[in-house]
């Protein structure tokens, strides 16, 4: 493990001093809130042996999120690159890398069930099928500790969206409209008693519009329902969800390097896109032509879940959890492959249009456990079962556009009207078909107990076993094909990439995970804790096909990444203040994997260490503040080819923070959410940098009476410029680069009617 070392920075000191006095109005209630995420048995924040965070829905909405990923900024240790919209976000934790997109080391869950078994499927990441709406009662997160042993592929942590169950009668209906962007959304929810101790809650949303950037498509919504019952000897919950939502996915855009940063190159940083607003047609399996209209991620998911606990007697109890989900979608968005000056015509862009069909991401999760409460120890033994399909079809065409503000088509090579069916910029690499099935079995055991009234401990072990079989087709066959359906083979249809022969995949991945933790409470409001853990994360099979032999077996068991962690922390909660500080270390060794946007393989080992700070403070007279910050020192210690060793991993900030001061009056409240990040290297070679930035978002809620309220929400109120992702690791002034900017200033207003 690596020792932490930071340069003394005035901003670090300011944030740390601010956090040392921060807190919440219900500090003690927060300490006593029941934590059910990633723990072998329900616990409280005071008694937990790991870093845990719980946020109410109200706190999340007040942070003025423009996507689900922006919600994650409220959680210490989590770094969400929230610039892609409501799908395909990159999410990392505690310095663990973003190697190939998605959330490889964080399990994203709803009501304790993973959205997907693996979080880094190319063009189909887990957050793409998750939405925040008013059916959510809270979001809980655990980092480190038992996250490794209590969930699939979650060595870094878990983020769990917990649904309302109707214990409190009532609900609301609200209409939200964009003030400076085209968006209209209706949210509704209601819950209450059904009789015979049953409760229910049902709700969802529907939206229609363009989104926060021009020429996008936001259309669709979801409905969720939960029924629940607590009885003398147990409880039962049943959850239903149907999501059918289409959202823009924002990829990098062209920019030009200056001596002090970047300037726009035909696309506005704040709200511009490369969206083509065209019908993109491509051959799918069997050379069947399929077309998509518009630039968006289409997400469909229908799931039903059951969670039941039964107490056999005062000593033994059992729990059974099961969820079945049907998932499909389509990713369609333009990626700038090359940007250049085309003589007198000026700046031009060669676009590879990512068009990936998610045919089948269906999955099943089950967990059966038996628990026993003895005098000195609580024991749980169980087995977790999982089945996940990964069936995707990739088809990338190429488009040529002038960066003239209108994206005017032009022809090059065999293109016609600026369209070429294929992607020579990527070597026609990316007409592919993946068909995998992952079956997982994980027996586990968890022990916990108390020594005296102050010391609590836990120890857990999990044996992760995966069987992966299926096929993948990555070779491209060029044939003449009438893609546009006009009955003629045009010059841009003479060599159309189609899916070639498939290869088998048939391999097993087994690895152990364990965790040991202790917590010592000094009375009712102060504690120290620590834990060590080891676990891993199965790589999505489409990321590691370069390691699969001709017979389908895996070379050197290289289909997973391993993580070792340790942490020690302090917790305090008084009448009007709460403060939590955690020191962590994490060592990560990754499998060799392919990255499509850079066309390279990566095989790196990383070390990181840092500090998480979290707190709340009620100053009295209506004033208060909530805050969190994470300081991280991360290093690449080994690479497959020896390059970049000793460097800082790409897009790894030394610090990130979120501070929310607020004021609550009798019938209104107001506050700002301030998010900041340090500068980062764009790539592992540590040459080109993105500058640090701070965004400020405003929320204002006004109640006309007990039922009717109005909310104003402004994200990035000062229209700050910032960037989260880039392709080029080096560039000189005057060069073109491809970078992903944060959204500019956007405002929305919500009119809500509350039912009681």
CA 282 to CA 183: how far, in whole Å?
Answer: 30
Q: Using an 8 Å Cβ cutoff, are 280 and 290 in contact?
A: no
Q: Look at residues 717, 719, 711, 723 and name the one whose alpha carbon lies nearest to residue 697.
A: 717
Does the pLDDT at position 18 exceed 60?
Answer: no
Q: Please report the pLDDT score of residue 80 as a whole number.
A: 87
| pLDDT above 90 (res 464) | yes
Range in 148-157, 501-510, 552-561, 618-627 the model is least confident about: 552-561
32 pLDDT tier (thresholds 50, 70, 90):
low
pLDDT of residue 596: 61
Q: How far apart are CA 578 and CA 615, in angstroms?
A: 5
Question: What's the confidence (pLDDT) of residue 610?
Answer: 97
User: Is residue 730 helix, strand or coil?
Assistant: coil
What one-character-per-residue DSSP string does 644-701 give? TTTSPPTT--SEEEEEEEEEE-SSEEEEEEEEEE--EESSTT--SEEPPEEEEEEEEE
If you average pLDDT over residues 691-714, what whole number do you get?
Answer: 96
Give the pLDDT confidence of 63-101 residue by residue, as tens digits.
777 888 888 888 999 998 878 888 888 898 999 987 777
**Contact assessment for residue 100 and residue 598, using Cβ atoms and an 8 Å cutoff:** no
- State the pairing for strand pair 604-620/23-24: parallel
Structure confidence at residue 198 as a pLDDT band (50, 70, 90): very high
Identify the pLDDT of residue 582. 97
For tokens 């309302």, what's the residue?
A: 164
For residue 23, the model assigns a pLDDT of 35
Task: Give the residue among 590, 433, 411, 569 at the shortest CA–CA distance from 492.
Answer: 411
pLDDT at 555: 83
Structural tokens at position 483: 């893609």
User: What is the share, in percent, of the chain residues with pLDDT greater than 90?
Assistant: 80
* Largest distance between two CA atoms of the chain: 83
d(CA 140, CA 36): 8
pLDDT digits (tens, 9 = 90+) for 237-261: 999 999 999 999 999 999 999 988 9
Distance CA 256, CA 266 (A): 10
Q: What confidence score (pLDDT) does residue 593 get? A: 76
For the chain, the average pLDDT equals 91
Domains of the chain by start residue, with CATH: 10-755 (2.40.170.20)
Q: What are the structure tokens assigned to 43, written together?
A: 């616990």
The 8-class DSSP code of residue 58 comes to H
Three-state DSSP string of 511-558:
EEEEEEEEEEECCCCEEEEEEEEEEEEECCHHHCHHHECCCCCEHHHC
Report the distance separating Cα 756 and Cα 379, nearest Å. Answer: 42
Of 414 and 98, more confident: 414
24-38, 73-87, 169-183, 669-683, range with the lowest pLDDT: 24-38
Position 28 scores a pLDDT of 44
| Pairing of the two strands 157-163 and 106-110 | parallel
Q: Residue 204: what pLDDT? A: 97
CA torsion 8-10-14-15 (nearest 10°) is -60
Confidence of residue 42 (pLDDT cuts 50, 70, 90): confident
Closest CA to 542 of 637, 630, 622, 437: 437
Per-residue model confidence (pLDDT) at position 598: 65
By the 8 A CB rule, do 123 and 354 touch?
Answer: yes
Say what percent of the chain tops pLDDT 70: 95
User: In whole angstroms, how far apart are CA 496 and each of 331, 433, 685, 725?
Assistant: 20, 16, 36, 31
Alpha helices per DSSP H over 25-176: 27-32, 57-62, 68-71
Who has greater pLDDT, 409 or 594? 409
Q: Compute the average pLDDT of residues 469-483.
A: 95
Query: 354, 425, 424: which is closest to 396 by C-alpha?
Result: 354
pLDDT tens for each residue of 568-585: 999 999 989 999 999 999
The H or E element spanning position 430 is: none
d(CA 355, CA 344): 32
Q: What is the pLDDT of residues 596-651, one digit of tens each?
A: 666 667 789 999 999 999 999 999 999 999 999 999 999 999 998 899 999 999 99
Q: With beta carbons less than 8 A apart as the criterion, state whether 162 and 139 touch.
A: yes
Residue 316 binned pLDDT confidence (cut-offs 50, 70, 90): very high
pLDDT of 29 reads: 53
Terminal-residue alpha carbon distance, the chain:
53
The number of residues making up the chain comes to 756
Express each pLDDT in 366-387 by its tens digit.
Answer: 999 999 999 899 999 999 999 9
C-alpha to C-alpha distance for 224 and 220, rounded to whole angstroms: 14
Residue 303 phi/psi, 5-degree rounding, is -140, 155
The reported pLDDT for the residue numbered 14 is 35
């Amino acid at each position: 493990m690596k020792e932490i070392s930071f340069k003394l920075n005035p901003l670090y000191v300011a944030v740390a001093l601010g956090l040392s006095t921060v807190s919440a109005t219900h500090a003690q209630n927060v300490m006593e809130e029941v934590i059910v995420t990633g723990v072998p048995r329900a616990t409280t924040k005071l008694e937990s042996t790991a870093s845990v965070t719980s946020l109410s829905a109200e706190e999340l909405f007040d942070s003025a999120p423009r996507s689900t990923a922006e919600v994650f900024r409220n959680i210490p240790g989590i770094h969400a690159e929230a610039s892609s919209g409501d799908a395909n976000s990159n999410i990392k934790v505690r310095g663990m890398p973003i190697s190939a997109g998605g959330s490889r080391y964080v399990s994203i869950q709803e009501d304790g069930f993973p959205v997907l078994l693996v979080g880094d499927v190319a063009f189909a990441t887990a957050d793409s099928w998750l939405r925040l709406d008013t059916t959510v009662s809270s979001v809980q997160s655990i980092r480190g500790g038992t996250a490794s042993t209590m969930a699939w592929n979650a060595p870094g942590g878990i983020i769990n969206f917990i649904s309302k169950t109707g214990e409190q009668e009532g609900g609301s209906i609200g209409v939200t409209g964009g003030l400076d962007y085209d968006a209209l959304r209706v949210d509704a929810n209601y819950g209450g008693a059904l009789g015979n101790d049953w409760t229910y809650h049902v709700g969802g949303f529907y939206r229609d519009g363009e989104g926060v950037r021009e020429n996008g498509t936001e259309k669709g919504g979801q409905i969720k329902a939960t029924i629940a019952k607590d009885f003398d000897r147990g409880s039962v919950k049943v959850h239903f969800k149907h999501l059918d939502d289409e959202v823009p996915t924002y990829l990098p855009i062209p920019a030009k390097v200056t001596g002090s940063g970047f300037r726009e190159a035909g696309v506005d940083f704040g709200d511009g896109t490369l969206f083509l607003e065209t019908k993109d047609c491509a051959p799918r399996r069997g050379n069947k032509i399929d077309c998509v209209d518009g630039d968006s991620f289409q997400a469909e998911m229908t799931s039903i879940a059951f969670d039941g606990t039964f107490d056999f007697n005062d000593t033994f109890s059992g729990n059974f959890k099961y969820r079945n989900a049907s998932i499909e979608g389509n990713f369609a968005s333009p990626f700038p492959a090359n940007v250049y000056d085309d003589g007198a015509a000026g700046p031009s862009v060669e676009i590879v249009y990512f068009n990936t069909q998610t045919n089948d991401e269906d999955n099943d999760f089950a967990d059966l456990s038996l628990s026993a409460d003895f005098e000195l120890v609580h024991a749980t033994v169980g087995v977790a079962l999982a089945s996940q399909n990964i069936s995707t079809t990739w088809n990338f065409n190429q488009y040529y556009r002038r960066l003239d503000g209108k994206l005017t088509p032009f022809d090059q090579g065999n293109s016609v009207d600026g369209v070429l069916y294929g992607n020579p910029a990527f070597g026609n690499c990316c007409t592919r078909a993946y068909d995998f099935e992952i079956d997982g079995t994980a027996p586990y055991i968890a022990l916990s107990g108390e020594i005296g009234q102050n010391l609590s401990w836990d120890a857990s072990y999990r044996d992760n076993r995966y069987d992966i079989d299926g096929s993948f087709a990555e070779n491209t066959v060029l044939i003449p094909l009438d893609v546009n359906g006009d009955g003629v083979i045009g010059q841009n249809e003479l060599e159309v990439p189609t899916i070639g022969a498939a290869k088998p995949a048939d391999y097993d991945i087994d690895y152990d995970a364990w965790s040991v933790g202790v917590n010592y409470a000094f009375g009712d409001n102060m504690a120290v804790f620590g834990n060590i853990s080891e676990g891993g994360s199965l790589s999505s099979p489409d990321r590691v096909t370069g390691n699969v032999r001709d017979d389908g077996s895996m070379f050197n068991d290289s289909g997973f990444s391993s993580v070792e962690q340790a942490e020690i922390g302090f917790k305090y909660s008084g009448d009007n203040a709460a403060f939590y500080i955690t020191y962590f270390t994490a060592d990560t060794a990754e499998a060799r994997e392919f990255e499509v946007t850079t066309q390279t393989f990566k095989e790196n080992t990383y070390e990181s260490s840092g500090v998480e700070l979290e707190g709340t403070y009620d100053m009295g007279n209506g004033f208060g503040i909530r805050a969190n910050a994470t300081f991280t020192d991360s290093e690449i210690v080994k690479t497959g080819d020896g390059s970049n060793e000793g460097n800082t991993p790409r897009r790894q900030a030394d610090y990130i923070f979120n501070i929310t001061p607020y004021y609550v009056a009798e019938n209104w409240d107001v506050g700002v959410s301030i998010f900041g990040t340090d500068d980062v290297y764009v790539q592992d070679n540590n040459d080109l940098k993105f500058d640090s930035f701070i965004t400020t978002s405003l929320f204002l809620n006004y109640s006309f009476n007990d039922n009717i309220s109005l909310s104003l929400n402004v994200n990035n109120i000062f229209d700050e410029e910032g960037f989260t992702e880039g392709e080029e690791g080096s560039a000189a002034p005057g060069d073109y680069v491809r970078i992903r900017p944060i959204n500019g200033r956007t405002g929305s207003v919500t009119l809500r009617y509350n039912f009681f």
